[in-house]
Structure 1
Amino acid sequence: MPVYIRKNVSFTPPSIYNMQLEDDNDYLLDPDQLRDILPQPYRMIDKILTQLLESVWEIVETKDNALLAEARKVRPPLFDEAQRLDKFQKASAMATSTDEQYIFFGLPNGLAAMDSLTQAHLHSWHEENVQITNIKTHAIGPETDLLITLDDMGTARLFLWAYNNICFIKALNENAPESTSKILCQKCEASKKGDYVGAVFENTGTKEIWMEVHKSPIESWLTELEGLGAAINKQKDENRESKEVETKDSPAVGHDGEESHNTSHLENTSIEKLGIKFSIPAQVLKIKPPPEQPLPGNASSSLASALSKVDTGDVLGTGLSHILSPAHLESRDQIFNHKHEQHLKYLPTEKEEQEVQATFHFLCASSMINLGLDQSSANDHPVILAVWWAGAPHLCQYSLTKSGGKDLEYKPDIVWPFTSTITCSATSDCTTYLAVGLENGNVILWNRQIGLCKGVLSASSKSAVKSIRFLDPCLFPLDIPHYPPYPISAATFLLAECADGSQALFDTCDGSQQIPRCVADKPENDEDKQSLLQEDKQSLLQVISALPELMIYTQKDGNMYIKDIGTGAALCQIGLPATHTVQNPWDPIFAIGGGGQILYLKGEGTEIDEEGEATDISSVFMYHLRSYPLLDPYWNRGYIGRELNVYTTAVDRIAPLMQERMQQQALRKPRLQQRWSQLRSELDVIQMARQAPLNSMRITTPSSITSSIMSEVRFRKSRASVI
């Protein structure tokens, strides 16, 4: 039956006596409900605006708290006693020699050398349109250094520094100007004493990347430099005689400054006029990076040929040599894609291109090298090259003494796999210790000399390890043992820096619990990328060699500081003039010379004149660290050098023991005389005790018998100690 309802009918409201007095929905009790509920879509817009307002307010409050915390910080004193150098204002790189007597500057048109104490310009090497961006030095002889440079065009060059002259050796990658594809050098480093030089190259045309190792003919270089020194001295004598003749003929010459300038010019150009050719390094090894994931299949036509290419299994490998064919791998991919088709659509389609980079170390002989690969004339010469590539979990080791003939590319002799991707690595100066930092925040420490893993150190549980470095062994508080008389193994500190800005200090001592000492905490509110406290992240740069307790670091805001490594406290801030700033906070141009007493820093700046044109006023500033009062306690301590590689042989241990016994011989002589003087009386007492009858023995007081027995026991013990 149909029901008819009339429209626009208003019902009578309830009586006031029937109204509930405590109604939570009543606007009289809840003022927030005074306004009616908004209909859609205005209700959604209101929620979005409210959430936006709250988010903005949180950002403002965070920045306000950051500025307040920054203002409450205790600022280290400012060290702004800088002296401007008029020379080398356009320096693009800076490095110091191994003995810190000379400073080398990379310039837009070559390379220059300066005395670190007197700031006198010694020599220059000029080449048009060659801007040196990186310089590394290695000592190969007395007052002789090997210089390795990289320019802005990716060309690596080798130089020799001797007799105040820069001698050009060779460019490792020479490109013709008309060639379309060029070979660029990504990285170039050498071993500690310059025995081997390693370089990573990239072909811009084929996108191929590989690494080469060259052996340096150091003995030939030193012999050729002796002839260079004799030729330079001969030329100096000829110049001096010619000047004496000119002085007699015309006594009124120019000023002293002009004469010295002409003399230095003759000395600098003498190396170019002599025409001495130096020996060229020889290539001994070529390494290619591992292929991208997934690994390619075995392209052999038959199973027998595939098995012939597979490793024997005696040592661990990288997994490249397998018998899986491309068809088998393709079928497995199809099965996987069919099974997980509903999930694969959520994967990112664009792959991130990861830059292929190599990190390598030259290692000396140790107990962790297979027999036959450690053939070397001396223990301090490298025999193994350790290489790992970015994004790979393997550390590959290649022998440098293997004579492969013309085949310079061969498989690694030793492969160390790790549980996570390798992010950084470091070795001690003597290559005794090897530390490997992983992406999961762990550090693997190996003692290569005795062939043991010292432990797995946890630097961080949430961040990857960014850098590792071994500190000077003299900083470790190791007491000198009284016994044994020969030196025992030493220890040192290991400084690990994580990607989140935290820094931890470990020790390599035996029996340590490996509990890290926190040197620097990660900045607060690290998850907030817009936080101003991100500028507190430190970038560790270099340890001051004369003061191994101090380190120079920079922050994101461009400020440079000197801090105590043990406590993590900043001692002072290196202040530039107000018109200058550090060129690159993560890679500033600086060097420490003069035995660690002088800091050279490049500051860049621009000046705008009245016409609105900008003028480059960049310059190099010099800081005398010895004159700063806060560093006096560190200078007065007097650090004593200590060797880290202390492992004595049996012959070295026997000699100190025999010497100690000979020194104690004088102390044993009076003891022997005293024992021989008491021997007669003790023998008489023992003889009387044996000749006495049984009844008399019972009557004898126990004290006399006990004393005789005890004297005999003491005699035997003393005799055994003498023997």
Structure 2
Amino acid sequence: MEGAQKSSREEPSTLEMTSVAQLPENTNCLSCSEDGRYLSLGHSLGLSVWCASTFIRVAEWLQDTMEITSIQMTGMSETTYLLGTVDDMGVARVFALHSDDIHLLNVINPMEDVNQRSVCLSFELYKGGHYGAASFSCNGGVWLEIYLFPSAAWLNELEMALAQKQDPNSSEDLDVRWSGVTVMTKIKPPTVAAVSALDGAVEVGQTADFSTHCLALDVIMSHSSQQDNSSSDTDAGKTKETTESPRRCTQHFLLPCGQCPGDSKADFKSGLPVAVAVWWSGSRNLLQYLLQNAPRNKPADVNPRPDVLWPNAKEIVCSAVSRCTRYVALGLDDALLCVWDRRSGAPLCVVLVSTAHSAFFRVQFMDCWAVSADASQVFAEEKIHLLVECKGGALHTVTTGRGTQSCTMQLSERPADSRDLPTVYTAVPFLQRLSLVVQRNGKMSLQDVINKTTVCFLTPATESLITTPCNPIYALNNKQQTLFIRGDQDARSSAFSEETSQSQLLTFCFGESDVLKQYILSHPDKQTKMCYVTLEETCNLYLQQRMLSAEERNKVILQTWEQLQETAAMVQERQRSCSQVRSCHR
């Protein structure tokens, strides 16, 4: 039996994907709706929405000289979906799919003045279409905007548009004025002047507030680092044109956890986020801002003060949040991983992952980890699993939790050949402990993150290749448990011609493979939801856990005390031996 298992590990199965439809020209991005019904595509001339099961085009929105480079899709109601796009000129837009029609609801950053136009760097729609976040750049400056979408008003207006369209007496052109988007807040990177103005302090040492002190210290250290880099560039013969390089922003919407400012039971029951976590490139601080509407007749605050600040010892390079958003994982410089627990307000763990080839590239939570046999233990619900990807290609898993010792395991080493570097390494929500891997050389596989084995390889349809494996265009349909990915015809095949070289939509249904049936989760959408508790309930739960773990902690204390006594005895014995040697020499 062991020999058979070993043989199967050495020779994983090869499963072929299926070509189901031709894609529009220059399809740059794909996205699936949460309910699995629709597949949205961004391409040259606009965007399209297809039925995810029949691959029939449901609706499209076309415009000359436009090329969509990023697209998202989320459900607003059972029949209405919100789409967020960014085009190749950096313009962000919000669309709605309603009754097989696509409507342009809002242009986030219209291009009114080419010299003063703001370029959208990233655009995110929160699930349900209530909130959005976009980061912009303009003339060297960067900032983040948080939006409140008028979901209820848009739904009513879409129904009005449908009624107007069905009215035989109405004109062909719909005359519907869509409600505007509210800018809740504008967040810019902290500066020394802005931070000092918060409490009137000029020097870092004079700041009385701890968060202000951390912000000021972070700004000064970041500015000094940029000056050092500029000096080295000047010494190398390069011309210094700007004093500061543009900073990028990363944000995460946060659900209520019961202990943060602004949390309430009403917010918890609504299932909507109450805050946003933000960090800027080159910064050591994770900042949290409450989602609050700006007062009437007053513009959104450009430099709001963060409500919560999470300081770190090293610079932040990547981040992720758990599905319940209670935990925030930060990949720090020098291979440090810090996981913050928002409920306790303290780090859950700080782990040194590795020392060689370990500059972090990405970190993600593994929600589909295998359930252990000791799931009934007191701290089982606290245990979390993370996947850390390094820039050199090495992969690590980290298992940690409150009351448990963190465990780090290396999944794969740095590839010797750069073509074997993974460009995509993502957990598949409906496959237990399996991750989808796409390599730079175009190879695709499913890997078991616990046993560190390749379960199977995925190959494109006959005479097809994965498009741009360095940045593949794909989407996972969690409801239908299907992978969608763009493929192009292999130019080396005999059937290749410019007339028939249109891109193909390749699919793979995980549930139809006998090899993968043992890994499929019966309820992939079921997740551990964080219950709302008050501070008193949290303290009682903490004391209860301390009482139940008292025996185990006493054992650890006793073992530590015995080790200290043994060490002290060894030190005394060594000192006695050294004294005798010195006496003999005398």
- Fold match (TM-score > 0.5): yes
Residue type at the aligned position of 1:623: F
Matched, 1:466 2:361: yes
Task: Give the alignment partner of residue 135 of structure 1, picking from 71, 75, 87.
Answer: 71
Residue type at the aligned position of 2:144: M
Mapped contact 2:333–2:360 kept (Cα < 8 A): yes
Residue type at the aligned position of 2:132: V
- Supply the distance in 1 between the matched residues of 2:120 and 2:408 (Cα, whole angstroms): 38
What is aligned with 2:248? Answer: 357
Secondary structure in 2 aligned to 1:194?
Answer: coil
Task: Give the alignment partner of residue 391 of structure 1, picking from 277, 282, 295.
Answer: 282
Mapped contact 1:459–1:465 kept (Cα < 8 A): no
Mapped contact 2:258–2:534 kept (Cα < 8 A): no
What is the CA distance between 1:188 and its match in structure 2?
0.9
Mapped contact 1:606–1:617 kept (Cα < 8 A): no
Write out aligned runs for 1:102-113 (5 A). Answer: 102-113=38-49
Identity of aligned residues (%): 24
What is aligned with 1:200? Answer: 135
Mapped contact 2:26–2:44 kept (Cα < 8 A): yes
1:394-436 CA-to-partner distances (Å, cap 9, x unmatched) read 2222222264543522233333322111111111122111111
Residue type at the aligned position of 1:446: W
Task: Give the alignment partner of residue 118 of structure 2, picking from 183, 186, 204.
Answer: 183
Residue type at the aligned position of 2:299: K
Relative to structure 1, is the Cα distance of residues 597 and 417 closer, same or farther in structure 2, using a 3 angstrom cutoff?
closer
What is aligned with 1:617? Answer: 502
What is aligned with 2:267? Answer: 378
Matched, 1:515 2:407: yes
Identify the structure with bigger relative contact order (alpha carbons < 8 Å, sequence gap 6+): 2
Secondary structure in 1 aligned to 2:48?
Answer: strand
Secondary structure in 2 aligned to 1:574?
Answer: strand
- Supply the distance in 2 between the matched residues of 1:344 and 1:547 (Cα, whole angstroms): 48
Relative to structure 1, is the Cα distance of residues 315 and 181 closer, same or farther in structure 2, using a 3 angstrom cutoff?
closer
Secondary structure in 2 aligned to 1:222?
Answer: helix
What is the CA distance between 1:89 and its match in structure 2?
5.1
Write out aligned runs for 1:588-607 (5 A). Answer: 588-593=472-477, 595-605=479-489
Relative to structure 1, is the Cα distance of residues 135 and 316 closer, same or farther in structure 2, using a 3 angstrom cutoff?
same
Relative to structure 1, is the Cα distance of residues 368 and 584 closer, same or farther in structure 2, using a 3 angstrom cutoff?
farther
Write out aligned runs for 1:98-497 (5 A). Answer: 98-176=34-112, 179-203=114-138, 206-228=139-161, 273-291=173-191, 312-313=208-209, 315-320=211-216, 348=236, 350=238, 354-366=245-257, 369-370=260-261, 373-374=262-263, 377-379=266-268, 380-401=271-292, 403=294, 405-409=298-302, 410-462=304-356, 463-472=358-367, 475-477=370-372, 481=376, 489=381, 491-497=383-389
What is the CA distance between 1:603 and its match in structure 2?
1.5
Mean Cα displacement is larger for which, 119-128 or 443-452? 443-452
Q: TM-score of the superposition, structure 1-length normalised? A: 0.62
- Supply the distance in 1 between the matched residues of 2:523 and 2:233 (Cα, whole angstroms): 66
Residue type at the aligned position of 1:211: L
Q: TM-score of the superposition, structure 2-length normalised? A: 0.75
Residue type at the aligned position of 1:130: M
1:607-656 CA-to-partner distances (Å, cap 9, x unmatched) read 5999x995543222233333323112223866582314246569999xxx
1:326-367 CA-to-partner distances (Å, cap 9, x unmatched) read xxx99xxxxxx9xxxxx9999545469855211011123346
- Supply the distance in 2 between the matched residues of 1:457 and 1:618 (Cα, whole angstroms): 44
What is aligned with 1:573? Answer: 457
Relative to structure 1, is the Cα distance of residues 366 and 478 closer, same or farther in structure 2, using a 3 angstrom cutoff?
farther
Residue type at the aligned position of 2:485: L
Relative to structure 1, is the Cα distance of residues 162 and 507 closer, same or farther in structure 2, using a 3 angstrom cutoff?
farther
What is the CA distance between 1:488 and its match in structure 2?
8.7
- Supply the distance in 2 between the matched residues of 1:488 and 1:426 (Cα, whole angstroms): 21
- Supply the distance in 1 between the matched residues of 2:61 and 2:293 (Cα, whole angstroms): 37
Task: Give the alignment partner of residue 21 of structure 2, picking from 85, 89, 93.
Answer: 85
Relative to structure 1, is the Cα distance of residues 608 and 273 closer, same or farther in structure 2, using a 3 angstrom cutoff?
farther
What is the CA distance between 1:197 and its match in structure 2?
1.2
- Supply the distance in 1 between the matched residues of 2:307 and 2:87 (Cα, whole angstroms): 34
- Supply the distance in 2 between the matched residues of 1:543 and 1:297 (Cα, whole angstroms): 40
What is the CA distance between 1:101 and its match in structure 2?
1.4
Relative to structure 1, is the Cα distance of residues 82 and 489 closer, same or farther in structure 2, using a 3 angstrom cutoff?
closer
What is aligned with 2:570? Answer: none
Residue type at the aligned position of 2:286: L
Mapped contact 1:474–1:639 kept (Cα < 8 A): no
What is the CA distance between 1:124 and its match in structure 2?
0.8
- Supply the distance in 2 between the matched residues of 1:82 and 1:345 (Cα, whole angstroms): 51
What is the CA distance between 1:85 and its match in structure 2?
0.9
Relative to structure 1, is the Cα distance of residues 275 and 539 closer, same or farther in structure 2, using a 3 angstrom cutoff?
same
Mapped contact 1:396–1:414 kept (Cα < 8 A): yes
1:358-404 CA-to-partner distances (Å, cap 9, x unmatched) read 1011123346634xx44684123222221111122222222222645
What is aligned with 2:562? Answer: none
Q: How many correspondences in the alignment?
A: 508
Write out aligned runs for 1:598-677 (5 A). Answer: 598-605=482-489, 614=498, 616-635=501-520, 641-646=526-531
**Unaligned stretches of 5+ residues in structure 1:** 1-72, 240-269, 331-336, 338-342, 525-532, 654-723
What is aligned with 1:546? Answer: 430
Relative to structure 1, is the Cα distance of residues 468 and 597 closer, same or farther in structure 2, using a 3 angstrom cutoff?
same
- Supply the distance in 1 between the matched residues of 2:253 and 2:431 (Cα, whole angstroms): 26
Residue type at the aligned position of 1:222: L
What is the CA distance between 1:447 and its match in structure 2?
1.6
Mapped contact 2:183–2:300 kept (Cα < 8 A): no
- Supply the distance in 2 between the matched residues of 1:273 and 1:198 (Cα, whole angstroms): 31
- Supply the distance in 1 between the matched residues of 2:281 and 2:446 (Cα, whole angstroms): 31
Secondary structure in 2 aligned to 1:557?
Answer: coil
Relative to structure 1, is the Cα distance of residues 299 and 391 closer, same or farther in structure 2, using a 3 angstrom cutoff?
closer
Secondary structure in 2 aligned to 1:108?
Answer: strand
Relative to structure 1, is the Cα distance of residues 143 and 489 closer, same or farther in structure 2, using a 3 angstrom cutoff?
farther
- Supply the distance in 2 between the matched residues of 1:126 and 1:297 (Cα, whole angstroms): 44
What is the CA distance between 1:96 and its match in structure 2?
0.5
Matched, 1:506 2:391: no
Relative to structure 1, is the Cα distance of residues 452 and 411 closer, same or farther in structure 2, using a 3 angstrom cutoff?
closer
What is aligned with 1:672? Answer: none
**Unaligned stretches of 5+ residues in structure 2:** 1-8, 539-586
Secondary structure in 1 aligned to 2:114?
Answer: coil
Residue type at the aligned position of 1:187: S
- Supply the distance in 2 between the matched residues of 1:558 and 1:468 (Cα, whole angstroms): 22
- Supply the distance in 1 between the matched residues of 2:300 and 2:207 (Cα, whole angstroms): 19
What is the CA distance between 1:555 and its match in structure 2?
0.9
- Supply the distance in 1 between the matched residues of 2:450 and 2:103 (Cα, whole angstroms): 41
Mapped contact 1:356–1:390 kept (Cα < 8 A): yes
- Supply the distance in 2 between the matched residues of 1:432 and 1:304 (Cα, whole angstroms): 34
1:673-694 CA-to-partner distances (Å, cap 9, x unmatched) read xxxxxxxxxxxxxxxxxxxxxx
- Supply the distance in 1 between the matched residues of 2:81 and 2:373 (Cα, whole angstroms): 33
What is the CA distance between 1:508 and its match in structure 2?
4.1
- Supply the distance in 1 between the matched residues of 2:351 and 2:124 (Cα, whole angstroms): 28
CA-atom RMSD in angstroms = 4.1
